[in-house]
Amino acid sequence: MGRLHGKTAIITGATGGIGEATASRFLAEGANVMAVGRSAAKLEALTGRLGHAESLATFVAEATDEEATRASTDETVSRFGGLDICFANAGTEGNIAPLDVMTIEAFRSVMETNVVGVWLSMKYAAPAMRERGGGSILVTGSIASKIGFPALAHYIASKHAVQGLVKTAALELGPDNIRVNAIGPGPVDNRMMESIGEQMSPEDVAAFKAQISQTVALGRYATNDEIANLALFLASDESSYMTGSLHLVDGGFTAA
């Protein structure tokens, strides 16, 4: 029997690297999964890769759209009979620039997706989980929740804010047996880090990756699957006494 047998999960940002890897792990461990993303075409391609036709459904929605978030949660409950796990994973790095050059539109866009989107996921997952007698809310935080980094003021601020949401939600929802945790990836070999590299070192993205890798104790970027492994643990009953924390999976980036 799988570690998530009989449970239902909703995953935002499901077509990204971490989202897809986590959806795949959850399905393999027996969960029903509602995969939420902005692109119908990408969601269709995702279902083709993942299979599991009876236990996988998709929903097109923007993470910042309250009505769409409500509807995706309602559809999950209607389709699968309840909600046990919410992985608020949708996020963006935005347009990178020094803080005195960055536009207010760029700053607001990142805060909307990375903070408001997470709050909306929590807001609508909590009542559904309460009806089930508990659940697990996961958030994709970051090592950015603990550090600063030049030219990423909007992203850094958003991830610090997310950690505040996680701690507050854990206190509010604990009496309902709903756990709330953040995953804190370091550099991951996926689209977001590629985009950051292209923006910060357009003349030599490979050199940027090598430079960042040198700051990691293990000397490399994480794979999406390595992040999904932690998501699976935090979603499962194996982490039943863990809530309100940021759990780093950063290869030792923050060890120094």
Looking at residue 192, its pLDDT comes to 87
Given a cut of 70, the residues of the chain with pLDDT beneath it are none
pLDDT of residue 202: 86
pLDDT at 201: 86
What pLDDT is recorded for position 200?
82
Q: Which residues are marked as active site?
A: 155
Distance of alpha carbon 80 from alpha carbon 61, whole angstroms = 19
Contacts of 163 (CB under 8 A, 6+ apart): 141, 145, 182, 246
What are the sequence ranges of the domains in the chain? 8-186+223-249, 187-221
Q: Which residues pair with 178 in a beta bridge?
A: 135
pLDDT at site 247: 98
Q: Please tell me the pTM assigned to this model.
A: 0.96
CATH class, domain 8-186+223-249, is alpha beta
Burial class, 22, CB count within 10 angstroms (exposed 0-12 / middle 13-18 / buried 19+): buried
Q: Please write the tens of the pLDDT for every residue from 190-208.
A: 988 888 889 988 889 899 9
Rounded CA gap, 39 and 46, in Å?
10
